[in-house]
A and B are shown apart, each in its own frame.
Chain A
Amino acid sequence: MHGLIIRSFEGFLRNTYGAAFWEDMVSALDAGIDRFEPMFHYDDALAARLVDVASARLGKPADGLFEDYGTYLVAHPASERVRRLLRFGGVDYEDFLGSLEDLAGRARLAVPDLDLPRLELVDLGVGDYRLSLFTPLIGAASVYLGLLRALADDYGALVVIEPDGHVKGADRLSIRLLKADFAQGRGFALADDGTGAAHRGGR
């Protein structure tokens, strides 16, 4: 597992449940690691154990944790960089959905060894879409569920997203775009004014 992913999951746990919870996680993991390095690679089994331990300690199912993590990636100030990079995908939510299939390629442009799930978006007409995720990463569909819902808020779009089963090796999500300009949204300037949360929190 790429360190960037596991490190941002660590950031999610730290920022959501506090430093003490993280210390607790570190001793429970007992892996000789008190923080993950974004530029390293980690054993998938360790990543899975991290999720299991967090899920058990919080009494929260892993899927719920993954979904919260997806929301965190867009909505939390400490993750502002990720939000900005995602917002480069489109001028509005519909445009963004259209660029979803490029997301893994965009990520690889930035970090060549970062493998994100391959996505396939089928436009079913009248605002209905079906998104298929192809990935060995566990929980990816739940992460994208949280992420896509949070991005809808970010764009100010009214969207209903639901899990839509597992077909032919792909997890599927159904996306229904009800209104593209439902609310104000958070806005996005191409030029980062430097006050972005890139320097706030999270470390």
Chain B
Amino acid sequence: MTPHPQLPPGSISLAPEALNRLLPMHVLVDGKGIIAHAGPTVAKIHPGQGLIGRRFFDVFAPRRPRHTEDLEEICFLAGGKFTLRMCDAASTPLIATAVCPASGAGVLVNLSFGIAVVEAVARFRLAGSDFAATDLTLEMLYLVEANAAAMAESRMLNERLHGAKIEAEAEALSDMLTGLQNRRALDQMLSRMIARGMPFTLMHLDLDFFKQVNDTLGHAAGDLVLKEVARILLDETRDEDVVARVGGDEFVIIANGLTDYSRLRAIAGRLIRRLEEPVPYGDCAARISASIGMAVSTHYTAVDAATLMHDADVALYASKARGRACFSFHAPGMEEPEEAVSDVSLV
């Protein structure tokens, strides 16, 4: 540590052991470009034969700048910074800084893994003691690992939430577009009412001319009509009734406690009249109607949901056959449709 008489004030000389501790990845290169000394971590990562006595650029291939292999010149370019690849199987990328020591010929090169440090640590099985105590590599590795852990937790949370969403959708009881109950909800409600022996009437309602609305005015108009239909159905029924959308333009109403024909006729008639009111859409008006088939639970000695649904369907078919825009009650001996009622074949 004694200053050389000719050196500028503040200059110091360091023994190799001191350099090793401060810069474990340094290389001392003599005036002929030959490696004179290498820090312990460089020696550890370099494969095969020793480094001492070999040409620096035979061991480390220049990446930038490419045009020169003169280390002394590099010292004065861009702050002495240059990049290299070690001539090993993995072509390990390295960042380097070169300085010309004040005390004489040759160049001191300090190396670093840069951003490739994570792979390098794994490849060369480096330990904390391979880095200078002031080096932030350990802190960086810690952060990389902590970040991976936090990301993993966050990903698992997202996966769980996604799963929960799918599950919730599958278990949903309401129709997304209209907010009415859906088929699942209807089935649950129907079995509950049958189990409790509650009297009711099942009204199967199918829109007429809805396909034309979709075809001529577009699906947005169709959706608007469906929402309007839902509003009217809720409006014309009581809180204790169930209103469900069970298909594209098919609805089912459970009229709770209602089995009286005259009252049911009044309701069905009013429903059809209101559904026939034109729905304004831009400059146009969407016009539809509805056919209704009804099955009354008290007409059966042993009620079951499938039979009721089927009979309401048969009655609906009868309404369609009578020219649509009307309602029918299921009656024994009513003509069965050849195939299940389908809006495609009838509308």
- Interface of A with B (CB < 8 Å)? 4, 37-39, 81, 84-85, 88, 91, 106, 109-111, 189-193, 198, 203
Given the complex of chains A and B, what is the CA–CA distance between A39 and B122 in angstroms?
Answer: 29
Residues of A contacting B145 in the complex (Cβ-Cβ under 8 angstroms): 81, 84-85, 88, 192
Given the complex of chains A and B, what is the CA–CA distance between A110 and B152 in angstroms?
Answer: 13
Given the complex of chains A and B, what is the CA–CA distance between A88 and B157 in angstroms?
Answer: 26
B141:A190 contact, CB within 8 angstroms = yes
Residues of A contacting B194 in the complex (Cβ-Cβ under 8 angstroms): none
B127:A88 contact, CB within 8 angstroms = no
Task: Determine how close the nearest CB of chain A comes to the CB of B5; give it in whole angstroms.
Answer: 41
B347 an interface residue at 8 Å Cβ cutoff? no
Residues of A contacting B303 in the complex (Cβ-Cβ under 8 angstroms): none
Q: A189-B125, A190-B126 are in contact. Are A88 and B150 (CB under 8 A)?
A: no
Query: A203: nearest residue on chain B (CB-CB)?
Result: B156
B153:A191 contact, CB within 8 angstroms = no
Query: A112: nearest residue on chain B (CB-CB)?
Result: B150
Given the complex of chains A and B, what is the CA–CA distance between A30 and B118 in angstroms?
Answer: 45
8 A Cβ contacts from B124-165 to A: 125-129, 138-139, 141-143, 145-147, 149-150, 152-154, 156-157
B95 an interface residue at 8 Å Cβ cutoff? no
B121 an interface residue at 8 Å Cβ cutoff? yes
Task: Determine how close the nearest CB of chain B comes to the CB of A2; give it in whole angstroms.
Answer: 12
Residues of B contacting A106 in the complex (Cβ-Cβ under 8 angstroms): 142, 146
The listed residue (A37, A39, A110, A189) touching B146 by CB distance below 8 A is A110
Given the complex of chains A and B, what is the CA–CA distance between A203 and B159 in angstroms?
Answer: 14
Q: A190-B141, A191-B121 are in contact. Are A85 and B146 (CB under 8 A)?
A: yes
Given the complex of chains A and B, what is the CA–CA distance between A191 and B138 in angstroms?
Answer: 11
Query: A110: nearest residue on chain B (CB-CB)?
Result: B146
B128:A190 contact, CB within 8 angstroms = yes
Given the complex of chains A and B, what is the CA–CA distance between A4 and B149 in angstroms?
Answer: 11
Size of the chain B interface, CB-CB below 8 angstroms = 23
Q: A190-B121, A191-B122, A191-B125 are in contact. Are A111 and B150 (CB under 8 A)?
A: yes
Query: B119: nearest residue on chain A (CB-CB)?
Result: A191
A91:B127 contact, CB within 8 angstroms = yes
> 29 A-B contacts, Cβ less than 8 Å apart?
A4-B153, A38-B157, A39-B153, A39-B157, A81-B145, A81-B149, A85-B145, A85-B149, A88-B139, A88-B141, A88-B142, A88-B145, A91-B127, A91-B128, A91-B129, A106-B146, A109-B142, A109-B143, A110-B143, A189-B127, A190-B121, A190-B127, A190-B128, A190-B138, A191-B121, A191-B122, A192-B145, A193-B122, A198-B152
Given contacts A81-B145, A91-B129, A109-B143, 11 further A-B contacts (CB under 8 A): A38-B153, A38-B157, A85-B149, A88-B145, A109-B139, A110-B147, A190-B127, A190-B138, A190-B141, A191-B122, A198-B152
Task: Determine how close the nearest CB of chain B comes to the CB of A106; give it in whole angstroms.
Answer: 7
Given the complex of chains A and B, what is the CA–CA distance between A144 and B150 in angstroms?
Answer: 22
Given the complex of chains A and B, what is the CA–CA distance between A190 and B248 in angstroms?
Answer: 61
Residues of A contacting B122 in the complex (Cβ-Cβ under 8 angstroms): 190-191, 193
Task: Determine how close the nearest CB of chain B comes to the CB of A136; give it in whole angstroms.
Answer: 24
Given the complex of chains A and B, what is the CA–CA distance between A111 and B151 in angstroms?
Answer: 10
Query: A107: nearest residue on chain B (CB-CB)?
Result: B146
The listed residue (B118, B147, B149) touching A191 by CB distance below 8 A is B118
Residues of B contacting A88 in the complex (Cβ-Cβ under 8 angstroms): 138-139, 141-142, 145
Max chain A Cβ within 10 angstroms of own Cβ: one of B118, B139, B153: B153
The listed residue (B121, B141, B149) touching A198 by CB distance below 8 A is B149
Q: A110-B147, A191-B121 are in contact. Are A85 and B157 (CB under 8 A)?
A: no
Query: B149: nearest residue on chain A (CB-CB)?
Result: A81
Given the complex of chains A and B, what is the CA–CA distance between A189 and B118 in angstroms?
Answer: 12
Residues of B contacting A191 in the complex (Cβ-Cβ under 8 angstroms): 118, 121-122, 125-126, 141
A110:B125 contact, CB within 8 angstroms = no
Task: Determine how close the nearest CB of chain B comes to the CB of A141; give it in whole angstroms.
Answer: 24
Given the complex of chains A and B, what is the CA–CA distance between A183 and B62 in angstroms?
Answer: 46
Query: A38: nearest residue on chain B (CB-CB)?
Result: B153
Task: Determine how close the nearest CB of chain A comes to the CB of B131; give it in whole angstroms.
Answer: 9
Residues of A contacting B141 in the complex (Cβ-Cβ under 8 angstroms): 88, 190-191
Given the complex of chains A and B, what is the CA–CA distance between A4 and B126 in angstroms?
Answer: 30
Query: A4: nearest residue on chain B (CB-CB)?
Result: B153
